[in-house]
Amino acid sequence: MAGLILEPTSQAQWQALVHEAQSACDRHLDETLESYLVFLLMRFADKPQCTARIMAADYLNSQVLLGEQRADKLRDVGDHCLLFSGLFPQLAERRLVRISYFVNIGRASYRQLSDGLDRGWSSVYSHLSEAFIVLVDILHAMRELGGMAALTPLQAMDFWQQTGSRRCYQQVCAGGRSIPAAIATEKH
Amino acid sequence: MSTTVVDARNLLCPLPVIRTQDAVVKLQPGDAVQVLCTDPGVVYDIPAWCRVHGHEVCDINEQEYEIAISIRVGESGS
């Protein structure tokens, strides 16, 4: 981290942190996605217990709901999956799943949400689904601002192979001398 | 009428349900879908999802390591 973040409000502090993470990983969000991420982080900053949630059960439960209840549940699942895969990737290892497991559930949730909403909000969630990996890359960069790697080299390799994450590709290139040629041409 | 095969092997629930959903959205009522899975949870999850969305489970074939679920797409088509 470059230094202390001395912003007057909590929102401004999170925004400064998101900006710093974007610069650190050279990935940039448009204003809508940046605001969504800032408010998401603000909302969950005081809810560490959210990591106990079981996303598979929540996703399947959302399928039996209708209307606004369904939309709320899908949004909640998408948001949690984004946080799990970006801020708490070690959670996947503890639950014996890949990080991309949360990515797939999160993207599907946002995509379904966008299909069932009016045009204005629909485009936001569609955009979130498409830019999910960019958001995860930024959250990984945010974790690394403190000086600790978000992913081990093996996790980075796996995540890159599963999702095509540009940041993980760079981490793999920086950490090793060779990338399997067949894989390197397929992804990224 | 066509049969679409969804390969959801080595995926954990609810990803086979998500893959099935993605395939069914593109199909017409009456089309057939065969979902290949390895997670035993699909034996409960996919029929439950079909019941909610109006699709018919025609057959569940459990082999030693693989499960094949045959679905007929219902009128809702989603």
Mean pLDDT of B23-45: 93
Q: In this predicted structure, which of A35-39, A43-47, A56-60, B73-77 has the lowest mean pLDDT?
A: B73-77
pLDDT of A11 reads 85
Q: Is position B50 annotated as part of the catalytic site?
A: no
Does pLDDT of A122 surpass 50? yes
More confident residue, B2 or A31: A31
Q: Is residue B78 part of a domain?
A: no
Tally of domains in chain B: 1
Does pLDDT of A182 surpass 60? no
Its ipTM equals: 0.80
Query: Residue A188 — very low, low, confident or very high, per pLDDT cuts 50/70/90?
Result: very low
Q: Which domain, by its residues, includes B59?
A: 3-72
Does pLDDT of B39 surpass 80? yes
Query: Is the CB of A60 less than 8 angstroms away from the CB of B49?
Result: yes
Distance from C-alpha of A101 to C-alpha of B50, rounded to nearest angstrom: 22
Per the CB < 8 A criterion, the answer to whether A14 and A57 are in contact is no
More confident residue, A100 or A93: A100
Q: Is residue B27 part of a domain?
A: yes
pLDDT of A186 reads 47
- Taking the CA of residue B35 and the nearest CA in chain A, the distance in Å comes to 17
Q: Which one of B6, B10, B18 makes the best mutation probe of the A interface by having the most chain A beta carbons within 10 Å?
A: B18
Nearest CA-CA partner of B56 in B31, B37, B36, B38: B31
pLDDT of B51 reads 93
**B63 touching chain A per CB within 8 A:** no
Neighbours of B9 (CB within 10 A): 14
Nearest residue of A to residue B51 by CA position? A64
* CATH code: domain of residue B66: 3.30.110.40
Per the CB < 8 A criterion, the answer to whether A77 and A62 are in contact is yes
- A22: helix, coil or strand? helix
Does pLDDT of A16 surpass 50? yes
Per the CB < 8 A criterion, the answer to whether B26 and B39 are in contact is no
- Taking the CA of residue B47 and the nearest CA in chain A, the distance in Å comes to 12
**B14 touching chain A per CB within 8 A:** yes
Query: Is the CB of B52 less than 8 angstroms away from the CB of A64?
Result: yes
For chain A, what are the domain ranges? 10-148
pLDDT for A170-179, tens place per residue? 888 887 666 6
- Taking the CA of residue B29 and the nearest CA in chain A, the distance in Å comes to 19
**B38 touching chain A per CB within 8 A:** no
Mean pLDDT of A137-166: 89
The number of residues in chain B equals: 78
pLDDT of B1 reads 64
Query: Which residue has 């969804």 as its token pair?
Result: B6
- A75: helix, coil or strand? helix
